[in-house]
Amino acid sequence: MITKIITDKVPTIGSIPSARIYPGNGIQYKIGTDRVCIIICTNGEAEIEMDSKIYNIYEKIFLVAGPEKTISMNSSSKNFRGDIYYIHVDSLPIEELKHVYSLKRIYDEEPCYKIPDEKYIMCRFIGHYLKSFQSEDENTYKIQIMQNYLNILFYEACNIFLNREEKKAGSKNRYLTNRFFADVESNFKTNRKISFYAQKLGITPKYLSFLVAKETGRTATRWIEEYTLLEAKKMLRSGKMTIYQIAYELSFSTPSHFGTFFRKHTGKTPKEFIKSTEITSRNEAFPQE
């Protein structure tokens, strides 16, 4: 089995079957770090394998493959058709941090959804528009326009997920988990201690860690770090604040402490991250299918 890594740095849309995703071609595709693949079936049906799990998709079903997921198409009907989108995670509209929880859960727990009829019409319109628009080479705002249309798909995916979550929110564990994320969203810049959040919920830190890990597959501490890293990347990329200012905005005792935290979780110092972002912006190009 051949494995290829998808590392598109800009929004891209293609069709299935395509040179990349084709049933029985003996190739696995690994989604690159910080990238997302969305597949929307528009006709027929297919069997897609993702990290050894089988998903059967048919018309109006979309599947989300998150960063570092491995996907392959095992089989499909003769009339199978679909749209496939490659999106860079850092360009997704997750400045509203409540979406971090939804997005990660979509990646890891429930990547396959049925699109409501009225939303499916909108998705098809976006797909047709982006396919024709992608060939325009002289539009100064090409990337920004494409990204904003893809943001609509992102928000719709989160909305479908949240609607499903509300139907399951009756359990005390789910209620406490949702409360935890609401508290983290409001307080992560000033407090990253799990004991702080446990106290607000009236439970022990040990039980909070157990509860969040059971409900989400990630520890409470890791989620707090995810929020902090996302905000740090957004602030570094904007260029509106110095590293010194960002460190204190996120309540690190010193810029050095912030740098150590950032490098531990990203493999880069804040300065290296800024430089890599600038290089990517200069070299962006649309890959061909």
Range of lowest pLDDT (17-26, 190-199, 204-213) = 17-26
How confident is the model at residue 271, as a pLDDT?
94
Q: Given this model, what pLDDT does residue 75 score?
A: 86
Asked whether residue 39 is domain-assigned, the answer is: yes
- Do 128 and 271 fall into the same domain? no
Encoding tokens for residue 44? 């027929």
Q: What is the pTM of this model?
A: 0.61
Kindly report the average pLDDT of the chain as a whole number.
Answer: 79
Say if residue 150's pLDDT is above 50.
yes
Among 143, 167, 191, where does a domain finish? 167
- SS3 of 146-164: the string is HHHHHHHHHHHHHHHHHHH
Domain-embedded: residue 6: yes
What percent of the chain is modeled with pLDDT above 90? 28
Q: Quick one: 68 and 88 in the same domain?
A: yes
Q: pLDDT at position 244, please?
A: 95
Domain final residue, candidates 124, 150, 167: 167
Q: Based on the domain organization, do 198 and 118 belong to the same domain?
A: no
pLDDT digits (tens, 9 = 90+) for 199-226: 999 999 999 999 999 888 889 999 999 8
Last residue of a domain, one of 117, 144, 167: 167
Name residues whose C-beta falls within 8 Å of residue 279's C-beta, 6 or more positions apart in sequence.
none
Q: Which CATH number is 196's domain given? A: 1.10.10.60
Predicted confidence band at 87 (pLDDT cuts at 50, 70, 90)? confident
- Output the pLDDT for position 102: 61
The pLDDT of 29-55, averaged and rounded, is 84
pLDDT digits (tens, 9 = 90+) for 103-148: 666 666 778 888 888 888 988 888 888 887 777 777 888 878 888 8
Whether 20 maps to a domain, the answer reads: yes
Same domain, 90 and 152: yes
Query: 251 pLDDT exceeds 90?
Result: yes
For residue 237, the enclosing domain spans: 172-280
Over residues 10-22, the mean pLDDT reads 53
Q: Does 122 reside within a domain?
A: yes
pLDDT given at position 262: 96
- Among 18, 27, 74, 84, smallest CA distance to 46 is for 74
The mean per-residue pLDDT over the stretch 56-81 comes to: 87
3-state secondary structure of 265: helix
Provide the residue type at 91 as one letter: S
Which of 147-156, 172-181, 201-210 shows the lowest per-residue confidence on average (mean pLDDT)? 147-156
25 vs 167, higher pLDDT? 167
* pLDDT of amino acid 2: 39
Cβ neighbours of residue 201 closer than 8 Å, sequence gap 6 or more: 176, 179, 180, 183, 208
Q: In the predicted model, is pLDDT for residue 100 greater than 50?
A: yes
Considering the domain architecture, whether residues 6 and 131 belong to the same structural domain is answered as yes
Separation of CA 21 from chain center? 20
Residue 187's pLDDT is: 93
DSSP state of 63: E
Same-domain status, 156 and 219: no
Q: Which of 1-5, 105-109, 170-174, 251-255 has the lowest mean pLDDT?
A: 1-5
